[in-house]
């Protein structure tokens, strides 16, 4: 069973732990092994510290930094985890650095080995074939993802004003394939490439299926979310 959790929040942005609690509920042991991949943030130390401060008492945490490498083999580290948690930041830079260090192949291997992959923002969209990203300044199309999830993804659908109109334009023009847009406060579980469940930490936060119509228009279909308590 191969699973990916798209997060519209979590330890780094939310005042509660509901989305992280949902993630931990999917893991197989009481003290799961969770590795943080902060590549998109440039391995920002404050981000790493927030991860450990929030989750150290919940799981066996580790961080895999790539900007200052240690003696560990990234593949060996990643393949011993129960979950791999990818940070927000610059998606294009993250994917490029992953490929230099072989982390892209290790993540694909981890996925097929049943290790849960998850992340917020850059860590939400990197799993798709294509995405909408602000890696280059203005939001733009990036057709360079890992391709573990078909189609495209868009984060921050409700919280960053440029995201939704840009995603709809790209979808309508054919620059992006059909995909999934996630609002802050929501999360989605994909199992073997298919949507399994949509959840939210507050009413109104949603996941949307976004598709182009034959006439050039675009449809947005909200997926009913289970409200986390």
**Model confidence over 55-98: pLDDT tens digits?**
998 899 999 999 999 999 999 999 999 999 999 999 999 999 99
The model's pLDDT over 147-186, given as tens digits with 9 standing for 90+, comes to 999 999 999 999 999 999 999 999 999 999 999 999 999 9
Q: Is the dihedral of CA 42, 52, 4, 10 positive or negative?
A: negative
The answer to whether the beta carbons of residues 45 and 76 sit under 8 Å apart is: no
Q: Which of 41, 135, 152, 156 is catalytic?
A: 156
Q: All domains of the chain, ordered by start, with CATH?
A: 3-227 (3.40.50.880)
The per-residue pLDDT for range 185-224, each reduced to its tens digit, is: 999 999 999 999 999 999 999 999 999 998 889 999 999 9
pTM of the model: 0.97
Closest to 44 in 3D by CA, of 61, 66, 74: 66
Q: Is 101 a catalytic residue?
A: no
Q: Cα separations (Å) of 173 from 3, 10, 133, 152, 226? A: 31, 33, 17, 14, 33
How far apart CA 132 and CA 152 sit, in angstroms, is 8
Catalytic member of 121, 130, 135, 152: 121
Annotated catalytic, 156? yes
Residue 187 β-bridge partners: 7, 199
Residue 106: predicted pLDDT? 98
Radius of gyration of the chain (CA): 17
């Amino acid at each position: 069973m191969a699973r990916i959790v798209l997060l519209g929040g979590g330890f780094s942005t939310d005042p509660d732990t509901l989305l992280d609690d949902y993630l931990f509920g999917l893991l197989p042991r009481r003290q799961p092994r969770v590795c943080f991949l902060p590549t998109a943030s440039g391995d920002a130390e404050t981000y790493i510290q927030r991860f450990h401060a929030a989750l150290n008492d919940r799981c066996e945490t580790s961080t895999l930094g790539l900007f200052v490498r240690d003696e560990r083999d990234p593949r060996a580290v990643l393949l011993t985890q129960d979950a791999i948690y990818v940070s927000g930041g610059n998606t294009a830079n993250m994917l490029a650095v992953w490929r230099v260090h072989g982390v892209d192949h290790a993540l694909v291997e981890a996925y097929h080995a049943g290790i849960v992959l998850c992340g917020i923002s850059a860590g939400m969209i990197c799993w798709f074939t294509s995405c909408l990203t602000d890696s280059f300044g203005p939001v733009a199309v990036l057709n360079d993802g890992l391709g573990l999830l078909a189609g495209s993804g868009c984060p921050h659908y409700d919280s960053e004003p440029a995201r939704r109109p840009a995603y709809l334009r790209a979808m309508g023009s054919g620059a992006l394939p059909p995909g999934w847009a996630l609002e802050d406060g929501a999360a989605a579980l994909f199992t073997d490439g298919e949507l399994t469940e949509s959840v939210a930490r507050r009413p109104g936060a949603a996941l949307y299926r976004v598709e182009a119509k034959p006439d050039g228009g675009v449809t947005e279909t909200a997926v009913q979310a289970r409200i986390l308590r």
